[in-house]
């Protein structure tokens, strides 16, 4: 194979700029991403910041001094809630990620986030952090406070007991157990309630949780790699599997990742997130329709790693159970719906369909998923390579994808020297944001010198410097 490497200029994508008054005092907050605590412990040192928000390594300066326009304040503090919530990314499943900020007289007096299922919710940590200062304060929370007893008491009652005067909520909880009951409870006791602040941002934070609550199915994302001239590649770009790379982050965010048996047999390893404190996903290996036994070698499996083989009754799988602790489930016929049903029964709520290895293992699964509208999202990595031979073709199901559906909110991101595109299938249950739809045309253009998808990229990327990649978060059930 003749492969030519192309250099790609690096760009930094920044979130929207927050305009804040000058000469504001800042309380520095430091958090440990590996901690099971949902507290953000304030440091003693105070500092001035010209724009109210400042970074000090792992410390984040948060505006605490001067009151602004109420609407601007609400948006600022809600964005902070989302930032806090994301500290627990990959750890809260099956619960949603939630952040909370307590503000009094224009100053942040308490912060918290939900660290993991079974632990106190964000509101509880924030109220503990605020102490007596929570009385007559405003509580900002990215998701509606619960009003029922699960593994933890109702957050609505904690807010009432703390005597907050106002609660600002990013979005209403779609969980039917919650569904506005928490807001109604707060209003019943005279607490002022505002909803829908930075709602789209809060929805993106828990998009998979929302999907599961509305449909009862796990959130499914298809990921694959391609060259700049539109050929499928069975490889990852340089650095993307390392800490901070998009692939390492994807593995951290999903409950399960589906792989072909050849991907494991050839690599003799399982993909793992390199993010600090990452909760590794379940590794699902698909083994089907083989004329000879599929041999899965002894793998280097950490105690926290989980691996399961899904095979049909016609396939013989040879593996070393004692050494690897691999579980095997045999179906009469493997289908994506059957796999998702199994994942759902095991409390696994988000699934990454990783197209590596022998993609023929995935043909029927992809066809099944697309026709039954079980796939919500596409992530495409475009490597800076020109594949002249194009020996690997796209799966048949992906070749015809552009004829069936469109992608909405096609967003670009740079990961090292690779371009990462993500978009949502319009046929899925929910569209994200307000950007125009894009056809996914690259998979069926192997003969084109430059895939149409890259033309879309060049126009959307350079015209929107604020474009960001919002990874799918884990699903959850409120508890």
Strands 219-226 and 350-354: parallel
The rounded distance, in Å, linking the Cα atoms of 234 and 393 is 10
- Residue for token digits 């475009």? 382
Cis ω on the peptide bond leading into residue 399 (within 30° of 0)?
A: no
Helix axis angle for 363-371 and 336-345, nearest 10°, is 80
Tokens 């990462």 belong to 420
How far is the C-alpha of 122 from the C-alpha of 300, rounded, in Å?
A: 36
Distance (Å, rounded) from C-alpha 43 to C-alpha 61?
10
Q: In degrees rounded to 5, what are phi and psi of residue 346?
A: -95, 5
Q: Give CA–CA dist 403/400, Å, rounded.
A: 5
Distance between CA atoms of residues 456 and 189, nearest Å: 52
Those residues with Cβ within 8 angstroms of residue 287's Cβ, 6 or more apart along the chain or in another chain: 261, 294, 296, 309, 310, 311, 312, 315, 317, 361
Residue in the structure block whose two tokens are 């019943």:
188
Q: Give the tokens for residue 286.
A: 């698909």
How would you classify residue 239: left for phi > 0, otherwise alpha for psi between -120 and 50, otherwise beta? Answer: left
The kind and range of the H/E element at 34 are none
Q: How far apart are CA 234 and CA 395, in angstroms?
A: 12
Residue 7: how many CB atoms within 10 A of its CB?
Answer: 7
Is the alpha carbon torsion for 313, 316, 321, 324 positive or negative?
A: negative
| Residue (of 16, 23, 98) closest to 64 by Cα position | 23
Residues noted as catalytic: 123
């Amino acid at each position: 194979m003749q492969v030519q490497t192309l250099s790609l200029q690096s760009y930094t994508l920044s979130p929207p700029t927050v305009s804040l008054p000058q000469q504001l005092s800042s309380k520095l907050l430091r958090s440990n991403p590996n901690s099971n605590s949902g507290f953000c412990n304030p440091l003693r040192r105070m500092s001035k910041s010209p724009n109210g928000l400042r970074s000090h390594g792992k410390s984040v300066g948060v505006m605490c001094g001067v009151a602004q326009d109420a609407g601007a304040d609400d948006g600022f503090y809600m964005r902070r809630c989302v930032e806090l919530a994301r500290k627990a990314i990959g750890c809260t499943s099956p619960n949603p990620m939630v952040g909370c900020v307590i503000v009094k007289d224009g100053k942040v007096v308490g912060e918290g986030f939900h660290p993991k299922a079974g632990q106190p919710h964000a509101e509880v940590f924030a109220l503990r952090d605020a102490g007596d200062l929570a009385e007559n304060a405003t509580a900002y929370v990215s998701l509606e406070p619960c009003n029922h007893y699960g593994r933890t008491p109702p957050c609505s009652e904690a807010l009432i007991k703390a005597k907050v005067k106002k609660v600002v909520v990013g979005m209403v909880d779609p969980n039917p157990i919650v569904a506005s009951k928490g807001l109604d409870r707060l209003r019943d006791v005279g607490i002022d309630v505002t909803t829908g602040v930075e709602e789209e941002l809060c929805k993106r934070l828990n998009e998979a949780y929302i999907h599961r609550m509305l449909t009862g199915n796990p959130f499914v994302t298809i990921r694959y790699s391609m060259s700049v001239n539109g050929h499928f590649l069975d490889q990852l770009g340089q650095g993307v599997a390392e800490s901070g790379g998009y692939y390492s982050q994807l593995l951290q965010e999903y409950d399960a990742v589906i792989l072909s048996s050849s991907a494991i047999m050839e690599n003799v390893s399982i993909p793992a997130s390199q993010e600090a404190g990452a909760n590794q996903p379940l590794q699902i290996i698909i083994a089907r329709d083989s004329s000879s036994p599929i041999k899965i070698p002894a793998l280097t499996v950490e105690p926290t790693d989980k691996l399961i083989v899904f095979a049909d009754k016609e396939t013989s799988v040879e593996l070393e159970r004692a050494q690897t602790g691999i579980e095997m489930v045999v179906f009469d016929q493997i289908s994506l719906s059957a796999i998702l049903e199994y994942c759902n029964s095991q409390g696994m709520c988000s699934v990454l369909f990783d197209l590596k290895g022998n993609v023929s293992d995935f043909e029927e699964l992809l066809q099944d998923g697309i026709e039954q509208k079980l796939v919500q999202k596409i992530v495409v990595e475009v490597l800076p390579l020109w594949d002249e031979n194009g020996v690997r073709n796209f799966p048949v199901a992906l070749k015809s994808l552009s004829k069936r559906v469109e992608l909405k909110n096609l967003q670009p991101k740079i990961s090292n020297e690779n371009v990462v595109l993500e978009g949502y299938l319009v046929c899925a249950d929910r569209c994200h944001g307000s950007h125009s739809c894009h056809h996914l045309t690259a998979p069926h253009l192997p003969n084109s010198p430059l895939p149409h998808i890259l033309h879309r990229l060049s126009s959307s990327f350079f015209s929107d410097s604020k474009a960001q990649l919002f990874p799918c978060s884990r699903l959850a059930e409120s508890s």
